[in-house]
Amino acid sequence: MLRDTVSDVCAWATRDTDRYVLRERLIAENPELADRAARKHRRLVEPVGELLRQQGASAETAALAPQVALACYQAGHQVAGGDPAALWPSVSAAFDQLGVVSGQT
């Protein structure tokens, strides 16, 4: 579920590639904007966790899953390096690495 949601977020963010590139450049060049963007991303974690709880997820899952999804987005975003075409593939690859990181593959 969260992987699909993050995919939708990536699609929305990159729908206008010129705007995406400009936004990324501005954020990279302005520490205040970078801090604001990071705070906005972190603020999404709590409502997603609450939604998961409402859908019957355990407290542990509701606490961990949104944090993991955000980490995958952030890692993929970093790897994509401002390339809108690379954002979702990089984020998806981060999700794929979860099994490797946890020793499940």
Q: Please give the tally of structural domains in the chain.
A: 1
Q: Environment class of residue 92 by beta-carbon count within 10 Å: exposed (0-12), middle (13-18) or buried (19+)? A: middle
**pLDDT per residue as tens digits for the range 51-105:** 999 999 999 999 999 999 999 999 999 999 999 999 999 999 999 999 766 566 5
**pLDDT per residue as tens digits for the range 36-50:** 999 999 999 999 999
Using CA of residue 44, residue 35, residue 19, residue 85, what is the dihedral sign? Answer: negative
What is the domain range of residue 39? Answer: 2-102
**pLDDT per residue as tens digits for the range 5-38:** 999 999 999 999 999 999 999 999 999 999 999 9
